[in-house]
């Protein structure tokens, strides 16, 4: 009788051990967050744009000033390209020529390009600011999974009209790009605040 009882106890101990072993080896299927590359943001060191443009501004020494390569490019359109961030500030320039109808057309075109983002935008916040150089700038900050998160126009209303937009050439979601987006907003505001016309 004692022998049988010991055998039963041993059998149950082995079953318990097997169950413990089975459940302890079951893999944990909790999803792990995706990793993203660490962003190295350039130091704030600036240079002045060349004399070949009818306007001038300061831009990062870590960026490259390139000619616009789009099919509708114009003579004074440029891109300030940040290779480490795969981002660019696309800048277009148009002469107003003291014609109110041209100025209205340029503003209409700028508003139309910003409004294209409404399909994917969570919000579009527009602000009018006065720059240290006495210019009036219209700033549009666009939230959501949009191709351009920051756009602006600057004009003196009678001779010059500049429009700019920030773009990222990456498929990473905007929430992961947030530090780079904030950095590019600061860079663009520095460009706006130092923008001057060449007479």
Residues 89/165, Cβ–Cβ less than 8 Å:
yes
Q: Whole-angstrom Cα distance, residue 52 to residue 77?
A: 11
* pTM, two decimal places: 0.76
In this prediction, residue 9 carries a pLDDT of 58
In this prediction, residue 110 carries a pLDDT of 92
In this prediction, residue 162 carries a pLDDT of 97
**Mean pLDDT per 10-residue section of the chain, whose length is 199 residues:** 54 62 54 57 91 96 92 91 94 95 95 80 87 90 86 94 92 74 95 93
Question: Among positive and negative, which fits the CA dihedral 189, 79, 107, 136?
Answer: positive
Long-range contacts of 168-173 (CB under 8 A, 24+ apart): 168/85, 168/86, 168/87, 169/86, 169/87, 169/88, 170/86, 172/36, 173/145
Measured from the Cβ of residue 53, the count of other Cβ atoms closer than 10 Å reads 18
In this prediction, residue 4 carries a pLDDT of 54
C-alpha 48: how far from chain center: 23
In this prediction, residue 77 carries a pLDDT of 96
Q: Whole-angstrom Cα distance, residue 42 to residue 62?
A: 7
Degrees to nearest 5, angle at CA 140 with 65 and 149 = 60
Measured from the Cβ of residue 8, the count of other Cβ atoms closer than 10 Å reads 10
In this prediction, residue 143 carries a pLDDT of 87
In this prediction, residue 136 carries a pLDDT of 87
In this prediction, residue 175 carries a pLDDT of 65
Reported residue count of the chain is 199
User: In order of start, what are the domains of the chain with their CATH numbers?
Assistant: 46-197 (3.40.1000.10)
In this prediction, residue 146 carries a pLDDT of 83
């Amino acid at each position: 009788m004692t022998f049988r009882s010991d055998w039963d106890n041993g059998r149950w101990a082995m079953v318990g051990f097997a169950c413990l072993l089975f459940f302890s080896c079951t893999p944990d299927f909790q999803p792990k967050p995706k990793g993203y590359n660490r962003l190295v943001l350039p130091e704030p060191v600036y240079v002045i744009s060349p004399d070949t443009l009818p306007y001038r501004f300061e831009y990062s020494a870590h960026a490259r000033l390139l000619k616009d390569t789009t099919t509708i490019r114009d003579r004074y359109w440029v891109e300030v390209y940040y290779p480490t961030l795969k981002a660019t500030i696309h800048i277009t320039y148009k002469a107003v020529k003291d014609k109110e109808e041209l100025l209205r057309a340029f503003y209409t075109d700028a508003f139309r390009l910003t409004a294209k983002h409404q399909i994917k935008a969570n919000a579009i916040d527009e602000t009018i600011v006065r720059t240290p150089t006495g210019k009036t700038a219209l700033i549009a900050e666009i939230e959501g999974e949009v191709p351009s998160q920051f756009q602006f126009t600057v004009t003196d209303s009678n001779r010059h009209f500049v429009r700019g937009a920030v773009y990222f050439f990456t498929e990473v979601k905007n929430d992961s790009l947030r530090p780079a987006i904030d950095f590019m907003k600061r860079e663009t505001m520095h460009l706006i605040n130092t923008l001057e016309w060449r007479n």
